[in-house]
Structure 1
Amino acid sequence: MLSESAHITFMTVPLHGHVNPLLGMVTELVARGHRVSFAINDDFASLAKDAGASVVLYESTFPSSSSPERGWLEAGHDAAQAAKVFRDEFVSVLPQLETAYAGDEPDLVVYDTVAAHAPVLAAAWGVPEVQISPTHVFYDGVEAETGATVALGDRRLGLRRKPCVVTIPRSVQLHADRVGGGCQFVGPIVSPRRVDGTWTAPDDWPVVLVSLGSAYNKRPEFFSACAAAFEGTGWRVVMSIGRFFDPAELGELPPNVEVHPWVPQLDVLASAKGACRRAG
């Protein structure tokens, strides 16, 4: 049983789709009187701090604002390539966090399913853990279908079969009928992200958000096609294109299209009548 003021730490990987779903939980736990820490790289430190956590910094192998040249997996990659990327992160981050938490080990580890270092550390510290999935969970038969292992850390820890809290609805889970009963689908836990800034619609036109997320967005031809499709339609098009290509590659855009590296999605979606997004 945790005390009323336990030290709870969160661990994930430095990608928006993995960090953002945890922030609402951080804020709620801090409000309940717990001390919350968040292990992440410098790119996401302000988000964790804004949610109320103290930050435990580490150097990631993933692309970052200071090292965008590392690139990312190309769309259409196979599962074996993806597994290697996350496994490399595990190997790099594990010793860093062992050192960073020395003398201030948490009472509970809350972690994203792809943060393979987290359950290893929890086991070493002898503390309980809670596994969170911000997206589809592994279903029975996924390894045979993809041809790649999905256990990124030490298989002896049984990473796949532990109970899991899932922050998407069961209705959108891939092969939901093949997901074990240990997964609890609770849906999203949304919280304001003040560091994202604000956005207000400049007119009363219907708004559509166009985004490919934070990882697979180096697709100027896709964004150009969307801009052309909405030209002259009376829609306000808000494009979030990421940081992997120069907006100048899009050429001259219609006046109803605005382009940003990132947008405060909660603000935009509150005004939007539609969204064109990458699935997954």
Structure 2
Amino acid sequence: MRVLFASTRGPGHFHPLVPLIDACTERGDDVLVVAPPALESLLATRKQPYRIGGEPPREEIARAMEPALALPPDDGVAVMVTEVFGRLGIAAMLPALEEACRDWRPDLVVHEAYEFASVVAAERHGVPRLRVAVSAARFTRSTDTLLTPVFAPYGTGITERLLATPYLTRLPASLDPSSYAVTHRYHETPRPGALPDRWGGAAEPLVHLTLGTEAGALPTAVGLYRGLVEAVSELPVRVLLTTGHLIEAADLGPLPSQVHVEQWVPQADVLRSASLVVCHGGSGTVFGALAAGVPLVCVPLFADQPVNARLVADAGAGTAVTPTGGPAHKAATLEADDVRAIRAATELVLAEPSYRARAERLADEVRSTVTVAELLGTLAP
């Protein structure tokens, strides 16, 4: 079988495709990945063939993003979906995806939920599709209501057919009920390695601080990280802070001795040892922690993060601390009240066993779903 995978530019959008790409490769399928230029360096480290599509002109992205960042969160999301992922993203990526469908002739197109050019290309060439979740179904379904005018230049009824496309998600049903007509849940089988001891044999609980791949690249990330470190470093814990490849430990200034900084550590390795994750509420971080049975303190900044934080809190698998000093992704640092609130939430979740117990129940629910290989055997035999 020939399987074409399509992603937008963010690593957080591409990573949910990786288990499916690897499973297809392992079973002997021909795989082709089509993605924007921003993912080329990542794709070059992998063994699957890939093609690089187009990218919207920077000035057009800036014109769309500047008002989006100034708007209230829901309105900013609408601009991102309709303009950046929609109008600009489709126009930039459609030529490469059309060409791939025409000359490579895939039997199946698998796309992450916000890659829309592959939807148009597959429609034009009569190729069946699978849609892979990058966010909670509640959030994705709310943004789907914006898509009819986005697809209008390319035909009629595309949004309705997208909603009928099989929707693949790793999130458990009790946490993330889905209104999509055809929803399939599955799980990965990570093989975590041992986390090196950076704390001289200390045995205090390990707290993982992260802003993920998207928020960690913001101009304000250094200030946000300093605020998170201030919030937890006075507690009797070990801290592992992962910053992403754009920030180094020296950028953060002097740090307490129990805080160790790495640009990147395999998520599964950290979660094997962590007692708590303090994060922005990004989908990749939230799902990874819950799949490993680790509770969270979420400090949501933008996009789907407030929804994820509410899901975690409602499930009893952690708490949410919404910044009070205005949009945190614009702030140079966290307000003092926010720092105190994050510290109190961290203490609470570490001290109260019910948070860990609920996270572990969700992990059991995740493990009860089919594996990636079993899912593909059903949907793409």
Code of the residue aligned with 1:228 in structure 2: it is: E
Q: Which residue of 218, 221, 224 corresponds with 2:223?
A: 221
SS at the partner of 1:171?
coil
Q: Deviations over 1:131-166 (max 9, x none)?
A: 1113212579836xx9x7145535621223433112
SS at the partner of 1:153?
helix
Question: Which structure shows the bigger proportion of residues in helix conformation?
Answer: 2
Does the CA contact (< 8 Å) of 1:200 and 1:268 recur in 2?
no
SS at the partner of 1:170?
coil
- With normalisation by structure 1, the TM-score equals 0.77
Residue in 2 aligned with 1:200? 196
Alignment of 1:29-44 (within 5 A): 29-44=24-39
Residue in 2 aligned with 1:66? none
Does the CA contact (< 8 Å) of 1:8 and 1:106 recur in 2?
yes
Question: 1:85 deviation in Å?
Answer: 1.6
Separation in 1, partners of 2:254, 2:69: 27
Residue in 2 aligned with 1:165? 168
Does the CA contact (< 8 Å) of 1:14 and 1:62 recur in 2?
no
Separation in 1, partners of 2:57, 2:237: 36
Does the CA contact (< 8 Å) of 1:26 and 1:52 recur in 2?
no
- With normalisation by structure 2, the TM-score equals 0.58
Distance change >3 Å, CA 168–CA 153, structure 1 → 2: farther
Q: How many residues align?
A: 261
Does the CA contact (< 8 Å) of 1:207 and 1:235 recur in 2?
yes
Residue in 1 aligned with 2:277? 275
Residue in 2 aligned with 1:3? none
Question: 1:109 deviation in Å?
Answer: 0.5
Distance change >3 Å, CA 40–CA 245, structure 1 → 2: same
Question: 1:114 deviation in Å?
Answer: 0.6
Q: Which runs of 5+ in 1 are unaligned?
A: 1-5, 64-69
Distance change >3 Å, CA 231–CA 136, structure 1 → 2: closer
Distance change >3 Å, CA 103–CA 265, structure 1 → 2: same
**Which segment is superposed worse, 126-135 or 151-160?**
151-160
Q: Deviations over 1:228-277 (max 9, x none)?
A: 23335442222223356675553211122223333322222222121112
Separation in 2, partners of 1:202, 1:115: 40
2:137 is equivalent to residue 137 of structure 1: yes
Residue in 2 aligned with 1:81? 79
Residue in 2 aligned with 1:212? 211
Alignment of 1:179-258 (within 5 A): 179-186=179-186, 188-191=187-190, 200-203=196-199, 204=201, 205=203, 206-217=205-216, 218=218, 219-242=221-244, 248-258=250-260
Separation in 1, partners of 2:96, 2:185: 32
Separation in 2, partners of 1:212, 1:62: 27
Separation in 2, partners of 1:115, 1:192: 29
**Which segment is superposed worse, 152-161 or 205-214?**
152-161
Code of the residue aligned with 1:167 in structure 2: it is: R
Distance change >3 Å, CA 100–CA 141, structure 1 → 2: closer
Does the CA contact (< 8 Å) of 2:16 and 2:132 recur in 1?
no
Separation in 1, partners of 2:103, 2:141: 41
Residue in 2 aligned with 1:115? 115
Does the CA contact (< 8 Å) of 2:164 and 2:181 recur in 1?
no
SS at the partner of 2:4?
strand
Does the CA contact (< 8 Å) of 1:131 and 1:163 recur in 2?
yes
Residue in 2 aligned with 1:55? 50
Q: Which runs of 5+ in 2 are unaligned?
A: 59-63, 282-304, 306-381
Separation in 2, partners of 1:123, 1:96: 15
Does the CA contact (< 8 Å) of 2:207 and 2:278 recur in 1?
yes
2:16 is equivalent to residue 21 of structure 1: yes
Q: Aligned-pair RMSD on alpha carbons?
A: 3.6
SS at the partner of 1:237?
strand
2:90 is equivalent to residue 90 of structure 1: yes
Separation in 2, partners of 1:85, 1:121: 18
Code of the residue aligned with 1:256 in structure 2: it is: Q
Separation in 2, partners of 1:86, 1:113: 10
**What fraction of aligned residue pairs are identical, expressed as a percent?**
23
SS at the partner of 2:103?
coil
Does the CA contact (< 8 Å) of 2:65 and 2:80 recur in 1?
no
